[in-house]
Structure 1
Amino acid sequence: MLSELGHIRNWIFDLDNTLYPVSANLFAMIDARIGAYVRTLLNCDAAEAHRIQKGYFHAHGTTLSGLMAEHAVDPHHYLAHVHDVDMSVLTRNEPLIEALARLPGRKLVFTNGDAPYASKVLDRLGLAETFEAIHDVHATAYRPKPDPSAYRGLCDAYGLEPTESLFVEDMARNLKPAKAIGMTTVWIDNGSEQTPDEDRSFIDYTISDLGRWLHEILED
């Protein structure tokens, strides 16, 4: 184990574009369905729907949070629609499965999606039995990452000591509140959409391949 990570007892992972590669394009399909949902809801053209969608994403953390705040959208209806995608694009990543199995301590998923969707993704990836729990957008009371309350809620729900926890994310901005409460932060720099001109001083490790990095720290 990498010496500076010997204190880590809790391994926390984002789901989309973290436990599977951006190249799978699963989240791109979800993104398109979000745009279609906004277009239908607000009766606007595709360009306006995209502007609204991304505006809410950057201002509220997720498009859903913006739609709930501004248009009283039912989150269950929204999530059922946007997550209705073809998961056959996902494949098992045996090196990642092996590395996660070897990690000592607790392993959890922390996602702005919902648990039913996350469970389907994990099953498709061969990771259905890997994680102790999925902390989803419903569990955050719809105040998702990067809202600081989402991180406090995660730690309270599972009795996690932040200074003994490591969080892996593809969205750099979602690591800032984790670092603020003492977590070790790992950013997967893999081409995911990011907030422009972002300070990244709160990132402890920048990686490009999760499975490879886990194997490296386990073999150190």
Structure 2
Amino acid sequence: MRPDLSHIDTWLFDLDNTLYPEESGFMGSVEGRMTAFVAKVTGLPRDEAYALQKKYFAEHGLTLKGLMLHHGVDPADFHALFHDLSLEVLAQDPELVAALAGLPGRRLIFTNADNTHAERVLAHLGLRGLFDDVFHIHSFGFAPKPDPLGFQRMIDAHGLNPATTSFFEDSERNLKPAADLGMTTVLVGPRALASTAPFVHHRTEKLTPFLTAARLKEAI
């Protein structure tokens, strides 16, 4: 059955592992640098640093938030780790570009990354001109997804109507606050079809065919 998104006029997308496939392996490079940074800051062996990295992510929604709270890390130093990462594993998808371009209404990015990272990835994927704004970790005052405060700041900043907004994410837990606010949620990625969470309204392994098949609001 075609997913019915004919009520949607605002399209909210996570960035990493959502607008490109998880199997690209790009986030593995991000995680590797993050672990090395945590080890340097804390003096822990790499395996213990990795465990702490995941602990902070689980507790705060963002490893950086834990590093800021407990180790006084400057966000600028943390984000700089990723600004020279090679993007060669990320391939442009002309069909995704066309599908996004065909969505009626506003298109926005909602990411826990910083603006520089988001801009680099979007430009590399050929998607930058398709989005009205990037709402990044600085935009929502370090209240990372799934913190409801970050969602409320997104809504306030852009005057969103949750009832006509759809949110696409690869992280199941980040969809709950969106659903609680009244958004239509779409879980994307290799684990999506196995999800049984009641706050996930649609599930798809691949973003492009889902968008291509969706029933959309007719242009006026």
Q: TM-score range by the shorter chain?
A: over 0.9
Partner of 1:195: none
Give me the whole-angstrom Cα distance separating, in 1, the residues matched to 2:12 and 2:149.
16
Q: Which runs of 5+ in 2 are unaligned?
A: none
Between the aligned partners of 1:25 and 1:118, the Cα distance in structure 2 is: 17
Matching residue's letter, 2:6: G
Report 1:152-167 matches (<5 A): 152-167=152-167
AA in 2 matched with 1:12 = L
**Partner in structure 1 of residue 32 of structure 2:** 32
How big is the shift at 1:82?
3.6
Contact 2:3–2:202 (CA under 8 A) maintained in structure 1: no
Any idea what SS the aligned residue of 1:79 has? helix
The residue aligned with 1:52 is 52
Provide the secondary structure at the position in 2 that maps to 1:121: helix
Give the structure 1 partner of residue 88 of structure 2: 88
**Is 1:103–1:218's contact at 8 Å kept on the other side of the alignment?**
no
* 2:66 alignment partner, SS class: helix
Partner in structure 2 of residue 79 of structure 1: 79
Give a deviation string over 1:136-163, Cα, whole Å, max 9, x none: 0001111110000110100110111111
1:117 paired to 2:117: yes
Question: Quick check: 1:26–1:85 contact (8 Å CA) kept in 2?
Answer: no
1:128-139 matches, cutoff 5 A:
128-139=128-139
The answer to whether structure 1 residue 202 and structure 2 residue 218 are counterparts is no
Determine helix, strand or coil for the equivalent of 2:168: strand
Give structure 1 stretches of 5+ with no counterpart: 193-197
Match of 1:216 among 213, 216, 220: 213
Residue in 2 aligned with 1:70? 70
CA distance in 2, matches of 1:91, 1:3: 26
Q: Deviations over 1:180-216 (max 9, x none)?
A: 1000000013259xxxxx9711000010100010001
Q: Deviations over 1:21-77 (max 9, x none)?
A: 111111110011100000011111111101100000011001001111111111111
**Could you tell me the TM-score, scaled by structure 1's length?**
0.93
Q: Report the 3-state secondary structure (helix = DSSP H, G, I; strand = E; otherwise coil) of the residue aligned with 2:55.
A: helix
In structure 1, the residue matched to 2:141 is 141
SS in 2 for 1:89: coil
Indicate how the Cα distance of structure 1 residues 47 and 53 shifts in structure 2: closer, same or farther if over 3 A, else same: same
Structure 1 pair 168–78 and aligned structure 2 pair: CA distance change class (3 A): same
Change (3 A) 1:14 1:59: same
Give the alignment's Cα RMSD to 1 decimal. Answer: 1.8
Give the TM-score normalised by the residue count of structure 2. Answer: 0.93
Whether the 8 Å CA contact 2:3–2:213 is kept in 1: the answer is: no
Indicate the residue corresponding to 1:182 in structure 2: 182
CA distance in 2, matches of 1:219, 1:65: 37
Whether the 8 Å CA contact 2:21–2:189 is kept in 1: the answer is no
Task: Note if contact 2:7-2:216 (Cα within 8 Å) is conserved in structure 1.
Answer: no
CA distance 1:4–1:117, change in 2 (3 Å): same
Question: Quick one: percent identity of the two aligned structures?
Answer: 40
1:4 shift after superposition: 3.5
How many residues matched?
214
